[in-house]
Chain A
Amino acid sequence: MIPRFVARRRTVALSVVVAVGALLAGVTSPLSAPSVAAENYQRISGEGSSWAANAIDAMRVNVKQFGITVDYNPSGSTAGRKNFLNGTVDFAASDIPFQFKPEDGSAPESPAAGSYAYMPVVAGGTAFMYNLKINGKRVTNLRLSGENTVKIFTGVITMWNDPAIQKDNPGLVMPARKVVPVVRSDGSGSTAQLTKWMIALHKPLWDNYCKRSGRAPACGFTSFYPTISGMIGQGQDLGVAGYVSQGFAEGAIGYVNYSYALSSQFPVAKLLNSAGYYTEPTPQNVAVSLLKAKINTNAADPSVYLTQDLSGVYTDTDPRSYELSSYSYLILPTKVQGQFNEAKGKTLAAFSYYAMCQAQQQSESLGYSPMPINLVKASFDQIKKIPGAVVQSINIQQCKNPTFAADGTNTLAKTAPQPQGCDKTGGASQCPDGTGGMKNVPTQVKPDPGNGGPPITTPPTTPGGTTPPTNPGDTTPSTNPGDPTPSTNPGDTTPSTNPGDPTPSTNPGDTTVTTSPGGVVPVDTTPSGGCDPTVGCDPSVGGPEVGGPLPTTLSMPTSQVTSFGLILLIVLLVIALVVVPAFAWRYFATKRMPT
């Protein structure tokens, strides 16, 4: 009786599982190719770039629903390529191609010809994430020229109040704090991209540094950043971002992928481009910049096919471009080798299709830029080379990639907003808007005396309106003076018919609204508000128009209370977890003992 009952119960359970499975398959199949849903996939493993790891991790999590399990170890591009050559991983992710002739004197990598193919998988910007406070308030709108950035990472500029940095930031009073450059200690593709950019634009500075660090004569671009005393080396993007975001690390600046600044909720430096604008590596700006990347189209030579030449990006004169934009690649096996076999090839191909199609919708929210249509098409051909690949015929317009336009152009780059006038170099002040992971937190800047008009003391509200302005002098929280008005920005009204054309308003005084649309005249805060950026501000002593303390400061305590309560709860739980088993064990042990 009992076995039969159990058996019946099992069949019921089974049929429920089957039904649910069928339901799931039915739900998911319209989204993906139907063949993907019910396949039997072998587990695959990859290793490499930590720069691209946030995107790849999101893909891995998403493909779990199709029964595809991908392990990914973000141990750095160099380790990824190395282990791909050793055959200990099925695929690698690397920001740079195999180094046949490394310039830094390291041993050359020599993959067997025809054993691999490059597939560009994400685009993004290498951002300079920093931890800097002025009068105890975090700076979120730092600007750096390329030369100053190179000088920071070569130990030439050692103080934040260096005149050169002060010149980049006319709206801030830079503190006399030491600059602490944080670099990668492991072999890294971001280091390679950064050093390549440094060498392309400021070779003498780099060569000089290379000599000082004892690395001469091998001063080419390198995956291993040479360090000097005073620099911090940390492993992987996560380590760099983790160090910079620590409370004690004030003054630190490190290079990581933009997505890490977003997830750490830290600002990134705006970098001066060739058009004279300070820009941030937003997905749109990266898309604009990479229009200038030269992609190798020599399909006959797999060792260079689809690799990138970024020299055009470094000198792009589009005002929206960000110089340190680049693609990151998956290195796919095209031969059965090491632990890789055809069954795994099937999984890898399905994963790659997902990565190039559906996954690109998500890139933007993570801080990466989606792939343009030509590279997606080329990648589909690369995937076919994987042994065991089940070729899918994907209608490329169904991928819902935000860069795809019907006419084959890059929508994201077309619609990318032009930079604000206050982001242009040479102005008397700068934009107060936050960057990176602190977009909603503006920084107070010095008034702009250039126009004789009212100062740019008012930070704009964000579109969501989540962060109210922190300037007591502001009377109209709803105004948005920092935002370029349509009239001053042709890029908004006529989407990028001529992206190279800078905005007609080159004077920051023009775009910063002198009179708010609400008709309220902003108050010059320096004398009347008692709020001098050099001394710090007390919001309570604002002008008479200001209605009491600001919501930002009000919301702080509540969030602190909740976080404090959460921490307390976690601590109690952990203590309970540690103490209870010990006591329980002792209790049972003594009980069992005969006395």
Chain B
Amino acid sequence: MDTLTTRPSVAEGEPATPQPLTSRRIRSDRAFFGIVSSSGVLVLALMVAVGVFLSYQAFDALQARGLAFFTTSEWQPDRNQFGVAAVLVGTLLIALVAVAIALPLSILTALFIVEVAPTWLRSTLVALVDLMAAVPSVVYGLWGLFLLQGQVVGVSRWINSWFGWIPFFKVNGADPTSPLSSASVYSASAFIAGVVVAMMVMPIQCVVMREVFSQVPPGEREGAFALGSTRWGMIRVVTLPFGRGGMIGGTMLGLGRALGETIAVLLIISPEFVIKFRVLEVGANSVSSLIALRYSEASGFELSGLMAAGLTLFAVTLVVNFTASWFIARSRSGASSEA
């Protein structure tokens, strides 16, 4: 006992300095550290390279248009009349619709998988949701174009006829009272594109949320039950507050994916270069679908314009994703998990 409690001898009057604690890494450790850190740096370098490349390519167009690039909605690069105002608004609208639909769906799916589903069903459901994430986006696009659109047009019509007084749900040219009115004013809209994108975003959000919900400390959960809580009560007071950060983070990650979705959107929308917030109305646009549509036939200068549009989207996506990781890291559940 004595030897253990002996204080190290320190000269009187001098401040106590901590003993230097050095550890020499063995070779395999160093190699591992080298590989891991270099791949981490590589990811960062890639991001920077993408940013630099886009800025470099976009320089011509940005210089020609200046700030007007962000306020012009037309897209006629050959006449020097182009900007991202309309496509950016369209991108955000499609993403918002997608998240608005995917969010409740993914929260409820995650809660069902973690809290309600019997054990034998759980892994099957997890596999199924993961499978949804693995379906290529062109498949979703074709499915949305040929199957879903015909069904969703009816939903759009219903929303428009009952909630058309909300400017957001207004549809110009729609006449719900006329039996001969064309249903095509509801087709090829931001709403339909958003519904399809929601199907692609949902699994990503669901995975994050499921991960977070499953980390709820069993003690708190059982405590809630012990206090006489129902299952719903337990979810309300324990699971949801615990997983709030993960829910926000997952949503933002999904939003990031929704902003960049290309082919499915391209197949469904009818491109239109007008700023409009009427999501149910025919005609929409998004940055990535504009790039996909025009890339293969663009002249040199238009290509620069497309790169500038891409740069804008890149910046928006970066902001969204950084916000997401900030939320996840700050939350109680996210501090330990890197979702």
Contacts and interface: CB of A to CB of B under 8 A. Distances in A.
Interface of A: 75-76, 78-79, 82-83, 104-107, 175-178, 180, 185-187, 214-215, 218, 227, 229-235, 239, 242-243, 246-252, 578-579, 582-583, 585-586, 589-590
A177 B270 contact: no
A250 B120 CA distance: 48
Contact of A214 (B74, B131, B301): B74
B184 interface: yes
B278 to A, nearest CB: 11
Given A76-B297, A187-B297, A586-B120, 18 more contacts: A75-B296, A105-B78, A105-B79, A106-B78, A106-B299, A177-B180, A178-B181, A180-B184, A186-B297, A230-B282, A232-B270, A232-B282, A234-B270, A246-B146, A251-B182, A582-B124, A586-B123, A586-B127
Contacts of B266: 235
Given A107-B78, A176-B180, A243 B188 contact: yes
Contacts of B296: 75, 79, 82-83
B297 A235 contact: no
Given A175-B180, A246-B187, A248-B153, A233 B128 contact: no
Given A76-B297, A586-B127, A178 B271 contact: no
B183 A250 contact: yes
B338 to A, nearest CB: 25
A187 B120 CA distance: 53
Between B186, B274, B298, the greatest number of chain A beta carbons within 10 A of the residue's beta carbon is seen for: B298
Contacts of A234: 188, 270
Contacts of B76: 105, 215
B182 A180 contact: yes
Interface of B: 74, 76, 78-79, 120, 123-124, 127-128, 131, 145-146, 149-150, 153, 172-173, 180-188, 266-267, 270-272, 274, 282-283, 293, 296-302
B181 to A, nearest CB: 7
B137 to A, nearest CB: 15
19 contacts: A82-B296, A175-B180, A177-B180, A178-B184, A218-B79, A229-B172, A229-B274, A229-B283, A232-B270, A233-B271, A234-B188, A235-B293, A246-B146, A250-B184, A252-B182, A252-B184, A578-B128, A582-B128, A586-B120
B293 A185 contact: yes
B131 A582 contact: yes
A171 B182 CA distance: 23
A178 B182 contact: yes
What secondary structure prevails in chain B residues at the interface with A?
helix
Contacts of B270: 185, 231-234
Contact of A585 (B127, B181, B272): B127
Closest 3 CB pairs of A and B: A107-B299, A79-B296, A248-B183
Contacts of B124: 582-583, 586
A176 B274 CA distance: 28
Q: Is the interface of A mostly helix, strand, loop or mixed?
A: loop
A576 to B, nearest CB: 13
A187 B302 CA distance: 14
Nearest to B149: A246
Most chain B CB atoms below 10 A, which of A82, A83, A177, A232: A232
A232 B188 contact: yes
A79 B295 CA distance: 9
A78 to B, nearest CB: 4
Nearest to B282: A232
B123 A107 contact: no
Contacts of A79: 296-297
Nearest to A226: B76
A232 B123 CA distance: 44
A248 B297 CA distance: 31
B71 to A, nearest CB: 16
B166 to A, nearest CB: 20
Contact of A242 (B128, B146, B182, B298): B146
Nearest to B186: A248
A235 B297 CA distance: 13
Contacts of B298: 82
Nearest to A160: B180
Contact of A251 (B74, B78, B145, B184): B184
Contacts of B127: 582, 585-586
A106 B131 CA distance: 44
Given A107-B301, A218-B79, A583-B124, A249 B267 contact: no
Among A76, A177, A233, A589, which residue has the most Cβ atoms of chain B within 10 A? A233
A328 to B, nearest CB: 17
Contacts of A215: 76
B123 A589 contact: yes
Nearest to A589: B123
A243 B188 CA distance: 9
A242 B180 contact: no
Contacts of A235: 266-267, 293
A174 to B, nearest CB: 11
B4 to A, nearest CB: 43
Given A105-B79, A242-B146, A582-B124, A78 B267 contact: no
B199 to A, nearest CB: 14
B84 to A, nearest CB: 17
